Chains A and B, each alone.
Chain A
């Protein structure tokens, strides 16, 4: 009897305190700042990692929290990248911050529109349909290559310095801080969503959609809502990608990109926000270092690392850390 009460109290305490910021959560930002001062020559890679973290975060919202599986998330990344790039290349819209907002809105709109159809399905059907959305968009971009630049890429993208002050340099220092600032904003938003009642209801849908229906939760609407937000964030990361590269090709909509971002998230750990950080850093640093070591065979090394993670760390690297911690705690008891 007393045990049950204590268990209930612990559960209540968890609900009350789960959303509070903990000291350890400062770690990614300290790492990001430290990386800048210790490795100033690596900021091109750093910028790519920050953008990938943001993209993985957007996937975590739907895959990790709402349980929506997708193989076409690059669709929204690509829409954001193309929207941002074409605003500059065709309309001469060179103010970077407003262009990012615009691209985010466009991607969110496309996400909402496709979400209205996609969220009616689940399982393999959903997987195939998300894949088709990305393929359709890619073929559309290939067909209208006069506007999109097609396979050869959209050139002529130019953006003014951020707030008219910070010029872009060859070392990507400005891009790094710029992308990192956006990541901080996106992370706070994502974190709020996850710990809000809305976020909890998403977890409910992931765990048991039927029961959520039974308690009267608007499952479909919730799913479309989170899909739209996720598409918007993916679009924002795509737009940052377009600004950092000043170049966009059909590749941004490619299946490889959708697949890799999923691998990155699973590598880090799904449904825990920080998995996006860990996965992106580990995967991209590994890929960068291995491909420098051996431009021909690096894929073997990356593949081997992934196989090991799938075999021995089912819940990703963060899951492995959790297990290590609970093992230590047990031993201490």
Chain B
């Protein structure tokens, strides 16, 4: 038999309430959690789930004396259908008060019309396609959008790194295309020029990057902006980049911080040193909030494990849910919940965050990361920061973000 814990994670957020007569009637709030828990992407759901549970364990007082019950459902693949069926079932059969999770964008997109129809607030904890929050008034996002890192990176590459020309290599699926668009928009608005954009295969198989990078080397731009899935893709990118001697040829490798995800960083090898990325979180941040978060994480899940930006989204998302539960005193009403979330601010491990009252999307600081060697482990060093970045896709009204 599998651990009892994973059947239905009942966490007594009301430990405090048992001791103190805080609330006369402690409610149980049911949260449907729809994420990918199985298959190749299981680690994403695991990180977010652990982040959520860690918050419940560390801050039981945040729920105002009420109890939160998580009902987990596996969204399996990024096809939308399984997630949608799960959401439908959670709304009609389990009668959940709120929904949370959503690793892959298509799963959040497919479920959007149901949360409108069923009037259930939904807290998106990963799915980064920019226009998701436009699909329903009951969607709020605590994670990020692809534009939030790509667009400022474009500006930064031109203005600070001094790149006049850039080539872009991306994995040919929406996060890659979004990131490419975001970077190109930011870079060209600042006066730079994208000389080549190369689709580098799908997200599953790791391609041989040599032909793509050779083409870039021949074009000799100042910067090469790369978006690939973290892990083995990103490791192959830095290795190929080093093997072809592209740094010596005067090309700077840059990208969004997704490619230096904390959980995958150590596996990238020494070739990653010098890689510059733009992102909102790394476990190496030395703020008090983050240090407390990371040490709580290591105490709960082992000294070898490390949280990453997905875990932080789970933590922050749970904080947002706690805020709603406390504000509404356990009686969840969709419209009141969205009102409570609008303009909500929180001191997250990633820094100060806010839910933008207009777009219901996350606003957070973006940091310029550089991969450095610290002893025998790789480490993220923050070399620059941009405060309170709103999603540029919606601000600039690009494509579906402007509809």
Beyond A247-B110, A292-B73, A296-B2, whether A152 also contacts B105 by CB under 8 A is: yes
Whether B6 lies near A294 (C-beta < 8 A) is yes
**Whose C-beta in chain A lies nearest to the C-beta of B79?**
A251
Whether B7 lies near A293 (C-beta < 8 A) is yes
Bound-complex Cα distance A89 to B198 (A): 30
Residue numbers in A under 8 Å from B6 (CB-CB):
294-296
Beyond A170-B118, A171-B92, A295-B73, whether A247 also contacts B38 by CB under 8 A is: no
Q: Which of A14-22, A39-47, A62-70 contacts B (4 or more CB under 8 A)?
A: A39-47
Q: Which of B81-89, B219-227, B242-250, B298-306 contacts A (4 or more CB under 8 A)?
A: B81-89
Residue numbers in B under 8 Å from A250 (CB-CB):
79
Whether B74 lies near A295 (C-beta < 8 A) is yes
Main secondary structure of the interface of A (DSSP, over half): helix
Residues 151-170 (chain A) with a chain B CB within 8 angstroms: 151-153, 155, 170
Whether B74 lies near A298 (C-beta < 8 A) is yes
Max chain B C-beta neighbours (<10 A), residue from A44, A241, A246: A44
Beyond A142-B172, A153-B106, A170-B88, whether A295 also contacts B79 by CB under 8 A is: no
Max chain B C-beta neighbours (<10 A), residue from A246, A247, A256, A299: A247
Does B80 count as interface, using CB distance less than 8 angstroms?
Answer: yes
Whether B114 lies near A298 (C-beta < 8 A) is no
Contact code string A256-275 (vs B, CB < 8 Å = 1, else 0): 10000000000000000000
Contact code string A122-159 (vs B, CB < 8 Å = 1, else 0): 00000000000000000000100100001111010000
Bound-complex Cα distance A246 to B73 (A): 21
**Whose C-beta in chain A lies nearest to the C-beta of B2?**
A294
Does B288 count as interface, using CB distance less than 8 angstroms?
Answer: no
Whether A150 lies near B174 (C-beta < 8 A) is yes
Whether B79 lies near A152 (C-beta < 8 A) is no
Whether A152 lies near B89 (C-beta < 8 A) is no
Does A48 count as interface, using CB distance less than 8 angstroms?
Answer: yes
Whether A152 lies near B106 (C-beta < 8 A) is yes
The residue that B80 contacts in the complex, of A44, A171, A245, with Cβ under 8 A, is A245
Whether B74 lies near A44 (C-beta < 8 A) is no
Bound-complex Cα distance A155 to B135 (A): 10
Residue numbers in A under 8 Å from B76 (CB-CB):
291
Bound-complex Cα distance A293 to B39 (A): 16
The total of interchain contacts (Cβ-Cβ below 8 angstroms) comes to 102
Whether B93 lies near A152 (C-beta < 8 A) is no
Tell me how many residues of A have a C-beta within 8 Å of chain B: 35
Whether B106 lies near A151 (C-beta < 8 A) is yes
Residues 63-100 (chain B) with a chain A CB within 8 angstroms: 72-74, 76-81, 84-85, 88-89, 91-93
Bound-complex Cα distance A280 to B72 (A): 24
Bound-complex Cα distance A7 to B7 (A): 58
The residue that B174 contacts in the complex, of A151, A172, A241, with Cβ under 8 A, is A151
Does B346 count as interface, using CB distance less than 8 angstroms?
Answer: no
Bound-complex Cα distance A152 to B401 (A): 14
Does B117 count as interface, using CB distance less than 8 angstroms?
Answer: yes
The residue that A294 contacts in the complex, of B7, B79, B88, with Cβ under 8 A, is B7
A281 to chain B, nearest CB (A): 16
The residue that B77 contacts in the complex, of A45, A170, A251, A297, with Cβ under 8 A, is A251
Does A254 count as interface, using CB distance less than 8 angstroms?
Answer: yes
Beyond A251-B79, A295-B74, A297-B2, whether A44 also contacts B109 by CB under 8 A is: no
**Whose C-beta in chain B lies nearest to the C-beta of A155?**
B109
- Residues on A lying within 8 angstroms of B by beta carbon are 41-42, 44-45, 48, 142, 145, 150-153, 155, 170-172, 241, 245-252, 254, 256, 291-299
- Residues on B lying within 8 angstroms of A by beta carbon are 2, 6-7, 35, 37-39, 42, 45-46, 72-74, 76-81, 84-85, 88-89, 91-93, 105-106, 109-110, 113-114, 117-118, 129, 135, 172-174, 177, 202
Given contacts A170-B118, A298-B38, 13 further A-B contacts (CB under 8 A): A44-B88, A142-B173, A152-B106, A152-B109, A153-B80, A153-B106, A153-B109, A245-B110, A254-B77, A256-B77, A291-B74, A295-B35, A296-B2
16 contacts between A and B (CB under 8 A): A44-B92, A45-B89, A48-B85, A142-B173, A151-B173, A152-B106, A153-B106, A153-B110, A170-B92, A170-B114, A245-B110, A249-B106, A251-B106, A291-B74, A297-B2, A298-B74
